[in-house]
Chains A and B, each alone.
Chain A
Amino acid sequence: MKCRICRAKAAVNLRQHNMALCKEHFLDWIPAQAERFIKKYKMFSHSERILVAVSGGKDSLSLWDILNRLGYQADGLYICLGIDEGIHYSAESQRLAEKFASGRGLKLHVVDIQKEYKEAIPALTIQSRHGRKADCSICGLVKRHEMNRIARDFGYDVLATGHNLDDEAAVLFGNTLHWAGEYLLRQGPLLLGKPGMARKAKPLCRFYEREMLAYALLRGIEYIYDECPLSIGSTSIYYKEMLNHLETDRPGAKLSFYLSFLEARRAGLFIEHSQIQAELHPCPNCGQPTSSSDVCSFCRLVQGQVS
């Protein structure tokens, strides 16, 4: 298999594009495509300040690397979730995020959930109404709240996350199985900001997870390889594996699923967002926007832990 550009031996085969690239041209291609997606979806400009949510994983660190290479003003945010499970998962993730930042002279904000709210994710999850040890939705709720808080408090224009196409396709698959209309309307490369809520962008949303892994490996980015020990057996990983069966037989199926959804929504398949959008108001406790008539979901979660 040869590189489409220089005919040298290919390092990565992009089956969905019917194209293979050598290391050098793949490492050029990814940032160039990311820049194209940032512009296409009007995510942000070079004059804006970007907060990149970094987990220590391949996607978020690669995103930070790409934005830095493209000359964007991108600082990082690491949220320590306090997950250990015998492999020091959070401690190791934080070490790698800090190493990445210090090695490149980049600014990294660190938030420790246990220090802020007296309990880390495992305890918050067990004590939540869900009552299960592992629940990615609780972790997601906490991360979204904290990302928005730091973006707001430090005056960032936009929050960027490392969601890749496999993440997006898995979420889309789940929401479609349940016909979760409101979630389907919200999903996309860009979520516009509202008063008290930062704009959110996903510059990697059209790259396969496999491509982001190849990018991290070829770029020499040191990332945490272990899966989150609390996510093993999660529904999203199950959906990703199912979609990979489809992709193996039908190259391009995941990309087509996601892009066709975006196009169908743009063409009016779903009702206008304004028709069902809940009215938001500031949470009386933390001030972040919520549709709840009382305090927001995050504050309900940490009630009892916050003094």
Chain B
Amino acid sequence: MSETASMDIHARLVECGMEAKHAQIVMDLATHPPSKASEVGKRIGISRMDAYNSLRKMQDMGLIKATLDKPMRFLGIKIEEVFDLLIRKSEMDLRRMQEHLDEMKSDAHLALLSHDNEHQEPNFTVLKDRHAIMANLQSILSEAEESVWMMLGHWGIFHLRRSVAFEAMVEAVNRGVVVKISTSLNDKTVKFFDDLDTRIEVRHHEDFSMQGVYVDDEVGLQFINVEKTPTGRGKNDSALLIESKDFLAAQLELMAIQWGAGTSYRAAKARLTEGKIIEPLRLNLGEGSYYERLRTSLERSVDGSISTPNAFLRRSGEPVPVQDNPQAAALSMLGIDLNDVLGGVGIRIGQELANKWGSVESDEQFWTYLTEEWRELGMGEIVMKGMPPESVVVHNGGACGGKPTVGGMFCHLDEGVLQGIMMVRHKVDVLSKERVCTSDGTDSCHFEIQCKTEQIDSAL
């Protein structure tokens, strides 16, 4: 038996309620011939007397056998038999407990001994050991009536799927309970979420580490300590079981805000598995009252004698378009700067490009790929200073198609692309931008972005 397998079985025995020392003895005798107490003690590192006492205790429980010779030698039983014994013992214990409960329920005198602890005061309980925590979770999920808000951090889905609470959650969904899950998705957990019932809504949050659940507005369970190893047994996990309407109301309010800022599961998965960014692009379109701007522009229009066009411009009988970009002009009248809009779109494209080549470890190689693609797309010649770049200059980008007064906003798109790349690849933002344009009378154009040297805090 390999050491890993041995440790795994030992962990499972402990998880089933066996003392760690007894589990060690089970493992030892399973792999050795009949042994004296002193030999067992020596092998597992305990005193002869300690070994003897433990062996006799285990013998009484039927977990090991002993020979009749002197000195007595002890021999193990098959490990699967040990598990069978533990299960049978637990079943007997359960039956006995059920009988006691039934008798107490039917006996009025026994019932009088219990103080009625049903009250509305806020209360909490500290739970230890993931098994105990999950058993409680199963219990509160079974009683869910309207909504369940689960927080599964980075690895919580592992624990949930392996626990009795998972079925309780599925049953809650089938009862019509609305179940929402907040998590921090990663490439190892995606498949578990893929398997979930489609009625369960999942949202992704960067660096979300909370684990717990809020059921209706009555009871919450929050993990305080979770083993760092995702596949661990959670022996040292601890959690608070809280019953407080005020607490739940406050927590649910926070969760609603968090939920709103989250990314849909579909978008988060696309980013993880395909390197695509598909969530809606959120842009800031400037401050101020758009209603006031609309009113202003309409007032000027309806007051016909002041500002309504009343003349056609023609050449050879054909109308001459005098405004190359009426849409841009209209947006400008409403205070929306298309340069900012395209800059924001460019950032998004840059982030996606950086994700696409995220697997390229070398920054030099990354920029070589980018420079080549940039050139192939006819977007100009990239020249960089430093690595990570302190500045990036693009010569003759020609984004405006030779008409800077009309197409100058596309220059902002290209700048945004580089900015997005810098943010994702190097975790730095852009410090300043400089632009030399043919509209200023120069023969060629270029723009330069200066990058910050300090990394930005949050990963994108």
A associates with B: no
- A residues contacting B by CB (< 8 A) are none
- B residues contacting A by CB (< 8 A) are none
